[in-house]
Amino acid sequence: MGSSQGAAAVTVFGAYGHTGRFVVAELLDRGLTPILSGRDAGKLRALAGDFPGLDVRPAPADDPASLDRALAGAAAVVNCAGPFAATSAPVIEAALRARIAYLDVAAEVEAVADTFAHFADRARDAGIVVVPAMAFYGGLGDLLATAALGDAVAADEVHIAYALSSWQPTAGTRGSGKVSRGRREGRRLVYAKGRLELRTDEAPSSRWSFPAPVGNRAVVGEFTTADSVTIPRHLSAPDIHTFMTAEAVKDVLAPDTAPPEPVDERGRSAQTFLVDVTVRAGGTRRRAVARGQDIYAVTAPLVVEAVGRVLAGQVKTAGVAAPGEIFDAHSFLGSLAPHHLSYELGAAETAEESG
């Protein structure tokens, strides 16, 4: 946990996936050495053509010996391969055997909850860092809520509102969504009164006043994301209210929405996002906002910054940890400015002043 970054090797499981490719490129940009791994040997070989000189290690998720070879000599592993319900546990098991850090970009709420439930004791006892959901959905909202609370560890309410200009889902998003819907059997998952619960009614619709230039937009409420699992792991928050712009919900649910198309040299799509987090603690309310381009591409600097901090020993704890629990949220978010993520922390206001 205390080793320096140097040219440390980091295994990327699911390296050929849409987000995995961004993670590989980001690791290289930061002087780390990706090891390309995943379940499809053919796709790995094709990826290696775009990143010559990197080690390629195919590994079926259900083959422990192959996973051990994939992680051999690595300082950490980043799991980008969904559905995470199938990959998280075996890759974490391999990381524990190798005694290296594990991070993933899971957006599947149930899979993230499973990681905390099944590995908290073992990872803590082994002194191994495990950070699930270190991504746009999960890590970003968690860090913003933590930064907005400052030194406080309890909030009366947390509101997380997502404004996406559009949402062109990847094949991975569709696959993970199908798995989650199957587990929920048509019900919705909501965090309320201090716990996750399943509901059968229709998600509420309302409007949310986002910071300029987005402004007042129609939103779908109770759009539960992985931060509803991570935030309660380290902050007392009886209610977490989540919202997503209505047009983005329509995009992601439509069966014929095209996948993301690259528009720049880094392969990012034209999609823009704004994440607006407000927390209320007693009579005080505070807002933290993040803006950027492409929810999949921005996951790469989020998880690679986390890898760098873990390898440099800049962590507050070991075991299975939420992003805001293990990292200094304010400095982490501020460090991402050169990596296409802007972050603003508002002044604390009385609840009456902020409406």
In the predicted structure, residue 278 carries a pLDDT above the cut 70: yes
What is the average pLDDT score of the chain?
94
pLDDT score of 348: 87
Average pLDDT over residues 43-67: 97
pTM beyond 0.85: yes
SS (HEC) of the chain: CCCCCCCCEEEEECCCCHHHHHHHHHHHHCCCEEEEEECCHHHHHHHHHHCCCCCEEECCCCCHHHHHHHHCCCCEEEECCCCHHHHHHHHHHHHHHHCCEEEECCCCHHHHHHHHHHHHHHHHHHCCEEECCCCHHHHHHHHHHHHHHCCCCECCEEEEEEEECCCCCCHHHHHHHHHHHHHHCCCEEEEECCEEEEECCCCCEEEEECCCCCCEEEEEECCCCCHHHHHHHHCECCCEEEEEEHHHHHHHHCCCCCCCCCCCCCCCCCCEEEEEEEEEECCEEEEEEEEEECCCCCHHHHHHHHHHHHHCCCCCCCEECCHHHHCCHHHHHHCCHHHCEEEEECCCEECCCCC
- Fold type of domain 9-136+299-328: Rossmann fold (3.40.50)
Please determine, looking at this structure, whether the domain spanning 140-295+331-350 carries the CATH number 3.30.360. Answer: yes
pLDDT score of 124: 97
pLDDT score of 67: 98
In the predicted structure, residue 176 carries a pLDDT above the cut 90: no
Q: How confident is the model at residue 311 (pLDDT cuts 50, 70, 90)?
A: very high
In the predicted structure, residue 353 carries a pLDDT above the cut 80: no
Average pLDDT over residues 101-107: 97
pLDDT score of 2: 34
Average pLDDT over residues 269-284: 95
pLDDT score of 126: 96
pLDDT score of 186: 82
Flag the least confident range among 89-98, 118-127, 239-248, 345-354.
345-354
In the predicted structure, residue 26 carries a pLDDT above the cut 90: yes
pLDDT score of 228: 96
Closest CA to 119 of 145, 147, 90: 90
pLDDT score of 4: 37
pLDDT score of 6: 46
In the predicted structure, residue 5 carries a pLDDT above the cut 80: no
pLDDT score of 178: 87
Q: What confidence tens digit (pLDDT) does each residue in 138-150 have?
A: 999 999 999 999 9
Please indicate whether residue 67 or residue 151 has the higher confidence score (pLDDT). Answer: 67
pLDDT score of 352: 62
Q: Could you state, in order of their start, the residue ranges of all structural domains in the chain?
A: 9-136+299-328, 140-295+331-350
- Measured distance CA(333)–CA(311) in Å, rounded: 18
In the predicted structure, residue 229 carries a pLDDT above the cut 80: yes
pLDDT score of 1: 36
Average pLDDT over residues 218-234: 96
In the predicted structure, residue 165 carries a pLDDT above the cut 90: yes
